[in-house]
Every structure is written in structure tokens, then in C-alpha cells.
């Protein structure tokens, strides 16, 4: 998400295969209480209860399939101390670059939360609720990638989450390229459960209050019906950067004490760059002296007075401001570390039995969430884009200037180009209010030998985005450059106290945008057993699906005219109708061998269509070992944000090879540039192929191991054109501050590109899952470890292939969080009677601070040496539960028990001096206490 603006496993009693069933689904051995039918020694399916597993429409006698599925139980979520589905899923080792945290409040999709399996982006990860889709979040990530917001789901209604880690396009739709996250809610409930929790950080802030009520009545088998609802309400207070001012680099933009130059600290404001020919965006203001300018003598910055009274950084004076700029700490003064959030989530379900095994069911969901994020004040200059092209407010005819007679102009008689951070206007504040709704009605049952399930689904979102503190370009030009401006004359710096509220209302009006999305879907699936094979029944499933999706975003007020300083234009509008038919077979040809195959055809109304197959095999040569493999294809048609009406302008970090070559000591650091991206009506659909090969071992009744190697390759990948390639090709807007006498070498303000079908991306890795259970005296100790190791993350565009594994790239995607090679979670749970204690270690590997393997460093110390690595990060979370009675439970958790501080990361733009992957190390130790009461 770029900125649109700124910166069990209980012991098995008899059969060895008893726990392998759970290993194949990725996680039920983690906690106690799992009891299933034997996995490998299959009885006749017609004599057993049947279940449906994510990744297949064919009911089975066990939960294992040829595809790797990780099952996340409620108990796993609870032991982590996380209070939402989104927060927990983003700790999975399979989550990667492109994941959308709720803390990036100034991103395009601020307020939303999404998961990015395999680092392929939230738009390539299909999220289901009870096996069916939801409407996407109103705001597209990076202004391009539509995704499902995970924060609309009430946690107390969640029974489990199943994560399918290979392609599932043949089952759920062609866009399930990276995998599927299926959030499974309770299907029935009787009684009532009341929960409450309160959380607070070790610094006494970030208070989180939450209450949930789940209540239901009726028994489907005896009464013929069941109905229940779950209500989830909460409020989380914002945490300011200033609240962590003593937490080393977390609470300050000034990282000079850790070896950096002021010019290379991206969150330290006011510094002069490039020998005083750029920068200077401070609270006092500075102007360019344009007198006597030629190729050898560029204009230089002259500071306005008042620096010492306007900055909080010691040692600043008018003299130092003239020499280096007025250094100040805008992030510490104005920016949130995490946003304020208020929400209410409701889910209800009712089911009614009829006939022999028939059921009519309906589900209703509603969510309303408000997120408020405060950021640094706006500057008065810069570059950004809109449909009419790039805007240059820094130089040329469009420059923001102080008029020759402006009382604050230090160079009388000259229209002076101004650099100024409008602290007197106040912070830029974004308020997102999102409403989500979902309605489902369906019927399922049996007709002779056939089982059927059919439903109609409607889901939608309505999001209102309001912003204050942003500057209207034309009004600013008038108030600063025209002595007779109808809105008044804007006094700046230490004279800002002379302004009226009417003047501020004129230059900084409240602006807004509105985003809507909707999904209407009808599906019909039938399944049956065709015949008995040596290993069990030959299963068949067939189905059809129609869905209509629409996404629209009105541009922020005035951005369609390019009239809001620094705020990128983003808008889209489009509708897609998709028709699909699919068939699936499961063939246990031998007791030791199961084959599976599926084929789906998706047809888009726009003309794109493709058949996507999936093949799987599971081989069980002995009770203690199983081998599995799968192959799948997928494709994703361009969405309205990519080939419809609209476009976007965002900000990212990029190096300038022209200036770096001229002045390698000062001009090689990646700095903020505007990225202007146009839709492309000529886009082709993305296509993908995925492979997985795995082994499951159960050497003892209490030890299990799974290892899965996987690869996903996307071709015709829809992405923004490479920023580096666009810069190399000269598709840029530059300032007038040329250096070294080289023409057209000014600072890059904006880069022009469009959505393109990049040649391909190839991601390859290995997932390992190890589980062990011990009996210790009267209690039981359970341990589990998940390890995701990336081997490749290649992207090919044209004749160039780059690999991002183990580096800070790709910075063209959400947050610039990088691609760590290893992520490991290690959990333990000890139980004894009414007590349980759990601990979870979370490890994220170090990264080379380069844009790609063998590429360029992204940041440098003051002495010119590169910042070579972003350190690894490890945290430990602790939780405990005490069942005082059968009805009453107390629980508590501590996240980041040892108060580890996130490593300093000078390159990411998603957070101030730390990587968003390391968010818990920015917040510090966090405590939560809660209680649950069950009414019988």
C-alpha cells in the first residue's frame, strides 16, 4: 500500500494415522481435543459421516487431501493474545509482502486489513466466509488491488480458519492464485457467551476495550431449527509517535545519533539537500534565491527567521537554519503510530430442517468501523498527478511563490519559490467510515444419491473518506502569491499567529471521497459417490456459479483538477459479470493411492475466459509416511482500477541514477517521488501455474513432521510499470535544481508509468511444520513450529530478471516491507486441569537493505558507508487461562514480553524508522486481560 499522499494435539490412542490427519490440514495437533476418524486406513465412505474440507467440494471421510491446508483453531488465536482475525493471520509465516496492516492509516486502503499469501498481494489471495466470497474493501490497495477486508468479522463467531496454501482456482474461482483463506463461523449455537477484554500497552496508552455477546437457541436435530447471533463491539485508542519519544528511533524522525546524515533521514524535516538546492521544508519556511542563476550557479535556499521557536530539536537557530535548514520532527509532533478505531460487527445465522437431511439456512452480517489517522502537516510544494498530467508546484510556472511584496518574503522584489510545512494549518487527518453488509440464503440436502447445496449471496461495502488539513493548490497560490487575494494573505512561520480562521478555511477545506463495492452471487453444487474403488468411493462434484461485482471510487474533492497539494488522484468505476462451471473427481484407486482432479471454466462478460485445471495425488506407502503433490492453474482478469476509468498518483521511494552518478556521496539514497499510473485498456489477464510436493511423517504417536515445497509462477502479471525502468527511460518530471552543470538533472518530483503485463513472477519456497506432545506429570506439554523459507521471489520485466529474496525489495508494493527469507513461529502450550499457559516465539529474518539481490543499497550513513542490513526481529508472546468454574474463565496475555525494540529501518515508507513487519517492536510490551462467562 503506497502513500496516496505522504509519507491433540492430544495423544493418539490406537492408530498411527490418527494425528497425521491433522498434520495434513496444517494445525489441529497444536492444541488439545482433536479426535477424528483414521486417515490412511479408509473404511467404506458410504458408512461414515462425511465432511467438506477447504479446497474440495466433495465430502470426505477424513480431513486430509493432496493439498496442504493449515487449520487455525480458535485456541491458537486466543493463545496469541491477538484480538482480531486480521491481526492473527498476519503473523502466519506464509503471509508476505503486500499484506495490509490496519496501522498504515495514510495508505490508499487505510482502515482495511488484508493478508497476502506467498507475498503475491492481497488481490491474489481469495478470502472466503463459510466457503463463499465477500464484497471487497471499498478502497483498492495501491489504488489498484481490490481485496477483502478481514476486520469485518466478529472473532467470537469464528470456529476455525482454514488456509489452503496452493492454487485453488479450479474450485473457487480463477483469481485464487496464491491460495485461499476460508474463515469458518459457527454453524449452530445454543446458550449464551459473554466476553470482555481490556488491553493497554506498557506505556499506558493504546487502550483497547472489547465486548462480545454470542447467543443462540434451538436444536436442529430435535427442534428442527437453530438461530444465533454474535455481536462484537470495540474501541482502540490511537498511539502517537510522540508517545514513544524515548523508545530510541521509534519515537523520532531524527536518527542522526545512530550515524545518519540529516539529509538521509526521511522523517526528519527541514534539512537542506543537494548542497542547499533542495529540501528545506521546515516550520519557518525557506525560499530560493533565484538571482544570478546559471548552469554553474543554481538557486539556493534562504531560511526565514523563527526556527528556534518553532522546532523541538535542540540547537536550532537562525544561523544553523541558514546553513543546514531548520531541522524539526514533524512525525513526532503530529503522526500516529497506530490509528484510533471504533467498530461494531454483527453476525447471525438461522437454519431450519426439512425432510431427510434437508436444511434451509440464512446468514446476515453487518459491520461498521471508523478509523482516524493523524499525519504530518502538508507542505506547500512538490509534485503530484491527476488526469491532466503531472503538477509541478516546486519550479516553473506552477511553482508556489511568495509574492514580491509578501511581508514574509526575505528577498523583496523577487517572486520567491517557497518551501514550507504548514504546521499552522495542523496535521493531515484521515477519517474512514466503512459499512459492510452480507446476506445469504440457501438450501442444502439430499435428492436420491445426490447431495446438493445452492444459495444466493449479496454483499456490499460503503466507505466515506473525509480528510482535513490538506491544502488547496490554487488557494495557496493565491494567498501567498497575490497581495489582493480574496481569501486573504497567508502569513507563515513565526508570523502565522496573524492569520484568521477564515483564511485557513479558504486554503484548507474539508475534502472527501466515497467508495462502494458490491457482490451478487448465485451458486449451485451437487455431489455423489459414483462407484466403489479399492480405496473407497469415487466422488464426483459439479456446479455452476454466477457473480456480479462492482467497484467504484469517486476522487477526493479537487484531485480530479490536480488542486490538492501532494494528494494523489485515485478513482475507478467498473462492473464485472462472471459465469463459471466446474467439475471435480476424487478417486481413491487403492488404499494407498488417491488421485484428484478438477476443472473450472470462468467466463468474464468483458470477453476473457479460461479453463483452469487442478490435479492432486496422495500416496501412503506405510502408516507412518504419506507423500502428496498438486498442480493447479489460475488466471485473473484486469479489475476496474487497472483497465477501467480512472488512474492514480501515489508516493514511493526510489533512487535517482542521474544524480547518483554526478554526486555519489550525497545523491544515492532512495527518496520520495510521486508515481503517476494510468489505466491500460489493453491489459491481458494474469495467468498462473502452481506446484506443491510434500511429505508427512509420523515416526511416533506424539511426533509429526510435514514438509511442503511449492512454486507459483505468474505470467502477464498486472503491475505498475517498474519505477526504476521509467526513471531510466526519462519518463519523469524533474525540479529545476540541476547539479554539476548537467542539464535535466534536477530532483525527481514525479514518475510517469501505467499498468502493464509484466513478463512473469516466480515464487518458490519450503514450508515446514513440526509438532510434539509430552506428558509432564499431571499435565501435558504441546509444542509446534512453523517455518516458511523462500528460495526465490523473481520478477521478470522485458529482458530483466530480479530476485527480491532476503532484500528490502520490492518497494513498488505495499509499505516497502521487503522479502525476508525466513519466518518462524514456535509455540508451546502447557495444560493442567483448569489451567493452561502458552508461549509463542515469532521470528522474522534479517534483510539486505538493497532493492534486489545484487542491486543498489537504499540508505547510507553519514560517512558514506551503506546501511547493509535490516536486523532480524524476534518477539515472545505469553498467555494464560484459568477456568475458575465450568462457566467462568479468566484470561490474560502479554505480547512482546521482553519489550524488544523493532530494528531501525531507514528505507520503509510504511512506518517511521521501523518496518511494519516489526510493529509489535514499535508498540512495546502490551497487556490484555479478559473474562468469559457461559450461560447454559
| Assigned C-alpha cell, 795 | 520478477
Any idea how long the chain is? 936
Q: How far is CA 103 from CA 152, 373, 553, in A?
A: 16, 9, 22
730's CB contacts (< 8 A; 6+ apart) are: none
Helix or strand holding residue 873 (H, E): strand 873-883
DSSP 807: B
- Asked if residue 373 lies in contact with residue 336, where contact means CB atoms within 8 angstroms, the answer is yes
Nearest alpha-carbon partner for 855 in 810, 792, 903, 798: 810
- State how far the Cα of 592 lies from the Cα of 614, in Å rounded to an integer: 21
φ and ψ at residue 707, rounded to 5 degrees? -135, 125
Cβ atoms within 10 Å, residue 298: 22
Looking at residue 685, what is its pLDDT?
Answer: 83
**CB contact burial 58-85 (16+ within 10 A = b; e otherwise):** bbbbbbbbbbbbbbbbebbbbbbbbbbb
DSSP 79: H
Q: How far is CA 634 from CA 97, 123, 175, in A?
A: 20, 13, 6
| Verdict on whether the full-model pTM lies above 0.75 | yes
Burial class (CB in 10 A: 0-12, 13-18, 19+), 775: exposed
- State how far the Cα of 253 lies from the Cα of 271, in Å rounded to an integer: 12
| Assigned C-alpha cell, 50 | 462425511
Angle at 468 between CA 464 and CA 474, to 5 degrees: 110
How many C-alpha atoms does 320 have within 13 Å on its Cβ side? 15
Nearest alpha-carbon partner for 147 in 134, 164, 161: 134
Q: How far is CA 826 from CA 30, 429, 877, in A?
A: 11, 39, 10
- Asked if residue 283 lies in contact with residue 307, where contact means CB atoms within 8 angstroms, the answer is yes
- Asked if residue 844 lies in contact with residue 818, where contact means CB atoms within 8 angstroms, the answer is no
- State how far the Cα of 73 lies from the Cα of 22, in Å rounded to an integer: 12
- Asked if residue 922 lies in contact with residue 250, where contact means CB atoms within 8 angstroms, the answer is yes
- State how far the Cα of 458 lies from the Cα of 364, in Å rounded to an integer: 10
* Coil vs helix vs strand at 879: strand
- State how far the Cα of 840 lies from the Cα of 79, in Å rounded to an integer: 8
- State how far the Cα of 424 lies from the Cα of 427, in Å rounded to an integer: 9
Looking at residue 464, what is its pLDDT?
Answer: 95
Looking at residue 27, what is its pLDDT?
Answer: 31
741: left (phi over 0), alpha (psi -120 to 50) or beta: left
Q: Could you write out the DSSP letters of every residue in 181-208?
A: EEEEE-S---EEEEEEEEEEETTS---E
Angle at 725 between CA 847 and CA 678, to 5 degrees: 105
Sign of the alpha-carbon dihedral angle for 809, 814, 815, 817: negative
Q: Which residues pair with 587 in a beta bridge?
A: 595
Nearest alpha-carbon partner for 62 in 35, 30, 34, 38: 38
- State how far the Cα of 356 lies from the Cα of 224, in Å rounded to an integer: 11
- State how far the Cα of 741 lies from the Cα of 373, in Å rounded to an integer: 43
Looking at residue 195, what is its pLDDT?
Answer: 94
- State how far the Cα of 816 lies from the Cα of 820, in Å rounded to an integer: 12
728's CB contacts (< 8 A; 6+ apart) are: 657
Q: Could you write out the DSSP letters of every residue in 115-183?
A: --BTTS-GGGEEEEETTEE-PPPSSPBTTTB----GGGS-GGGEEEEEEE-S--HHHH-TT--SEEEEE
201-243 pLDDT per residue, tens: 999 999 999 999 999 999 998 899 999 999 999 999 999 999 9
- Asked if residue 610 lies in contact with residue 601, where contact means CB atoms within 8 angstroms, the answer is yes
- Asked if residue 802 lies in contact with residue 794, where contact means CB atoms within 8 angstroms, the answer is yes
SS (H, E, C) 716-748: EEEEECCHHHHHHCCCEEECCCCCCCCCCCCCE
Helix or strand holding residue 750 (H, E): strand 748-776
CA 558 to chain centre: 28
- State how far the Cα of 581 lies from the Cα of 547, in Å rounded to an integer: 12
- State how far the Cα of 802 lies from the Cα of 816, in Å rounded to an integer: 16
Looking at residue 28, what is its pLDDT?
Answer: 27
591-646 pLDDT per residue, tens: 899 999 999 998 888 777 889 899 999 999 998 899 999 999 988 877 766 766 55
Could you say which residues of the chain have pLDDT below 50? Answer: 1-49
Q: How far is CA 201 from CA 198, 334, 899, 901, 928, in A?
A: 11, 20, 10, 14, 9
Q: Looking at 355-394, which runs of residues are DSSP E strands?
A: 358-375, 383-386, 389-392
- State how far the Cα of 719 lies from the Cα of 802, in Å rounded to an integer: 15
- State how far the Cα of 87 lies from the Cα of 23, in Å rounded to an integer: 24
**CB contact burial 332-341 (16+ within 10 A = b; e otherwise):** bbbbbbbbbb
Nearest alpha-carbon partner for 239 in 277, 208, 281: 208
Task: Considering only CA atoms, give the Rg of the chain.
Answer: 29
Q: Which residues pair with 894 in a beta bridge?
A: 878, 927
257's CB contacts (< 8 A; 6+ apart) are: none
766-791 pLDDT per residue, tens: 999 999 998 888 889 999 999 999 99
Helix or strand holding residue 461 (H, E): strand 450-468
Q: In this prediction, what percent of the chain has a pLDDT beyond 70?
A: 89
CA 821 to chain centre: 18
Looking at residue 751, what is its pLDDT?
Answer: 76
Cβ atoms within 10 Å, residue 122: 32
- State how far the Cα of 130 lies from the Cα of 116, in Å rounded to an integer: 19
- Asked if residue 851 lies in contact with residue 811, where contact means CB atoms within 8 angstroms, the answer is yes
Q: Which residue has 495501491 as its cell numbers? A: 142
Nearest alpha-carbon partner for 675 in 701, 653, 642: 653
Q: How far is CA 213 from CA 228, 229, 343, 473, 884, in A?
A: 10, 8, 14, 49, 20
Amino acid at each position: 500500500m503506497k502513500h496516496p499522499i505522504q509519507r491433540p494435539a492430544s495423544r493418539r490412542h490406537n492408530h498411527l494415522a490418527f494425528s497425521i490427519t491433522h498434520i495434513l490440514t496444517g494445525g489441529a495437533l497444536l492444541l488439545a481435543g482433536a479426535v477424528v476418524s483414521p486417515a490412511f486406513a479408509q473404511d467404506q465412505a458410504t458408512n461414515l459421516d462425511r465432511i467438506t474440507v477447504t479446497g474440495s467440494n466433495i465430502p470426505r471421510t477424513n480431513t486430509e487431501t493432496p493439498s496442504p491446508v493449515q487449520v487455525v483453531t480458535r485456541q491458537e488465536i486466543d493463545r496469541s493474545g491477538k484480538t482480531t482475525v486480521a491481526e492473527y493471520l498476519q503473523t502466519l509465516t506464509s503471509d508476505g509482502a503486500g499484506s495490509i496492516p490496519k496501522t498504515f492509516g495514510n495508505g490508499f486502503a487505510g482502515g482495511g486489513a488484508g493478508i497476502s499469501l506467498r507475498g503475491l498481494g492481497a488481490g491474489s489471495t481469495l478470502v472466503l466466509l463459510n466457503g463463499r466470497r465477500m464484497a471487497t474493501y471499498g478502497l483498492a490497495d495501491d489504488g489498484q488491488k481490490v481485496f477483502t477486508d478481514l476486520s469485518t468479522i466478529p472473532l467470537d463467531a469464528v470456529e476455525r480458519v482454514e488456509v489452503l496454501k496452493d492454487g485453488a482456482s479450479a474450485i473457487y474461482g480463477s483469481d485464487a492464485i496464491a491460495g485461499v483463506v476460508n474463515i469458518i463461523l459457527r454453524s449452530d449455537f445454543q446458550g449464551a457467551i459473554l466476553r470482555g477484554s481490556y488491553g493497554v500497552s506498557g506505556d499506558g496508552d493504546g487502550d483497547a476495550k472489547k465486548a462480545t455477546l454470542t447467543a443462540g437457541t434451538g436444536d436442529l436435530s430435535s427442534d428442527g431449527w437453530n438461530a444465533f447471533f454474535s455481536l462484537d463491539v470495540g474501541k482502540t485508542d490511537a498511539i502517537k509517535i510522540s508517545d514513544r519519544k524515548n523508545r530510541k528511533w521509534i519515537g523520532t524522525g531524527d536518527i542522526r545519533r545512530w550515524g545518519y546524515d540529516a539529509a538521509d533521514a526521511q522523517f526528519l524535516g527541514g534539512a537542506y539537500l543537494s548542497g542547499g538546492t533542495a529540501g528545506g521544508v521546515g516550520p519557518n519556511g525557506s525560499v530560493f534565491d533565484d538571482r544570478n542563476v546559471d548552469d554553474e550557479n543554481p538557486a539556493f535556499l534562504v531560511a526565514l527567521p523563527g526556527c528556534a521557536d518553532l522546532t523541538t530539536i535542540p540547537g536550532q537557530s537562525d544561523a544553523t537554519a541558514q546553513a543546514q535548514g531548520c531541522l524539526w520532527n514533524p512525525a513526532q509532533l503530529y503522526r500516529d503510530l497506530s490509528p484510533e478505531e471504533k467498530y461494531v460487527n454483527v453476525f447471525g445465522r438461522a437454519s431450519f430442517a426439512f425432510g431427510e437431511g434437508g436444511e434451509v439456512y440464512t446468514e446476515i452480517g453487518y459491520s461498521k468501523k471508523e478509523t482516524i489517522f493523524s499525519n504530518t502537516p502538508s507542505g506547500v510544494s512538490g509534485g503530484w498527478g491527476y488526469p491532466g498530467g503531472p503538477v509541478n508546484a516546486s519550479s516553473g510556472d506552477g511553482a508556489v511563490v511568495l509574492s514580491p511584496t509578501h511581508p514574509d518574503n526575505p528577498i523583496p522584489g523577487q517572486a520567491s519559490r517557497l518551501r514550507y510545512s504548514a504546521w499552522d494549518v495542523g496535521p493531515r487527518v484521515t477519517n474512514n467510515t466503512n459499512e459492510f453488509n452480507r446476506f445469504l440464503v440457501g438450501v442444502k440436502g439430499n435428492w436420491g444419491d445426490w447431495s446438493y447445496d445452492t444459495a444466493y449471496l449479496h454483499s456490499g461495502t460503503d466507505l466515506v473518506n473525509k480528510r482535513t488539513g490538506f491544502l488547496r493548490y490554487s488557494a495557496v497560490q493565491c494567498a501567498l502569491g497575490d497581495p489582493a487575494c480574496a481569501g486573504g494573505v497567508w502569513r507563515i512561520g513565526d508570523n502565522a499567529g496573524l492569520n484568521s480562521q477564515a483564511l485557513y478555511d479558504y486554503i484548507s477545506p474539508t475534502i472527501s471521497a466515497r467508495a462502494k463495492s458490491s457482490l451478487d452471487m448465485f451458486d449451485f453444487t451437487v455431489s455423489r459417490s459414483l462407484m466403489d474403488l479399492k480405496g473407497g468411493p469415487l466422488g464426483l462434484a459439479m456446479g455452476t456459479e454466477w457473480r456480479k461485482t462492482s467497484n467504484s471510487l469517486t476522487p477526493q474533492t479537487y484531485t480530479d483538477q490536480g488542486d490538492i497539494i501532494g494528494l494523489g488522484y485515485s478513482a475507478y468505476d467498473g462492473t464485472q459479470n462472471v459465469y463459471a462451471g466446474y467439475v471435480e473427481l476424487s478417486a481413491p484407486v487403492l488404499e494407498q493411492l488417491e488421485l484428484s482432479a478438477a476443472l473450472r471454466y470462468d467466463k468474464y462478460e468483458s470477453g476473457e475466459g479460461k479453463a483452469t485445471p487442478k490435479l492432486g495425488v496422495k500416496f501412503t506407502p506405510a502408516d507412518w509416511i504419506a507423500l502428496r503433490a498438486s498442480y493447479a492453474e489460475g488466471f485473473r482478469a484486469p479489475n476496474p482500477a487497472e483497465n477501467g476509468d480512472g488512474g492514480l498518483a501515489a508516493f514511493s521511494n526510489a533512487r535517482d541514477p542521474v544524480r547518483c552518478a554526478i554526486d555519489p556521496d550525497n545523491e544515492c539514497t532512495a527518496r520520495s517521488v510521486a508515481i503517476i499510473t494510468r489505466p491500460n485498456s489493453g491489459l491481458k489477464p494474469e495467468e498462473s501455474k502452481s506446484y506443491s510436493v510434500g511429505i508427512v511423517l509420523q515416526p511416533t504417536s506424539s511426533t509429526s513432521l510435514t514438509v511442503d515445497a511449492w512454486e507459483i509462477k505468474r505470467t502477464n502479471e498486472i503491475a505498475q510499470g517498474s519505477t526504476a525502468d521509467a526513471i531510466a527511460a526519462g519518463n519523469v518530471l524533474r525540479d529545476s535544481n540541476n547539479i554539476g552543470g548537467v542539464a535535466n538533472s534536477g530532483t525527481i518530483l514525479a514518475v510517469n508509468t501505467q499498468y502493464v503485463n509484466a513478463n512473469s513472477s516466480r515464487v518458490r519456497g519450503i514450508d515446514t511444520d513440526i509438532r510434539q506432545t509430552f506428558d509432564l506429570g499431571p499435565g501435558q506439554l504441546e509444542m509446534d513450529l512453523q517455518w516458511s523459507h523462500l528460495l526465490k521471489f523473481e520478477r521478470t520485466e522485458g529482458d530483466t530478471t530480479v530476485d527480491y529474496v532476503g532484500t528490502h525489495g520490492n518497494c513498488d508494493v505495499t509499505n516497502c516491507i521487503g522479502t525476508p527469507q525466513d519466518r518462524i513461529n514456535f509455540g508451546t502450550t502447557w495444560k493442567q486441569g483448569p489451567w493452561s499457559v502458552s508461549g509463542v516465539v515469532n521470528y522474522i529474518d534479517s534483510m539486505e537493505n538493497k532493492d534486489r539481490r545484487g542491486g543498489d543499497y537504499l540508505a547510507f550513513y553519514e560517512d558514506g558507508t551503506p546501511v547493509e542490513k535490516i536486523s532480524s526481529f524476534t518477539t515472545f508472546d505469553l498467555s494464560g487461562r484459568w477456568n475458575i468454574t465450568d462457566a467462568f474463565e479468566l484470561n490474560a496475555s502479554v505480547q512482546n514480553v521482553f519489550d524488544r525494540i523493532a530494528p531501525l529501518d531507514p528505507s520503509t515508507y510504511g512506518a517511521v524508522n521501523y518496518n511494519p513487519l516489526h510493529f509489535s517492536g514499535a508498540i512495546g510490551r502490551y497487556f490484555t486481560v479478559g473474562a468469559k462467562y457461559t450461560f447454559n
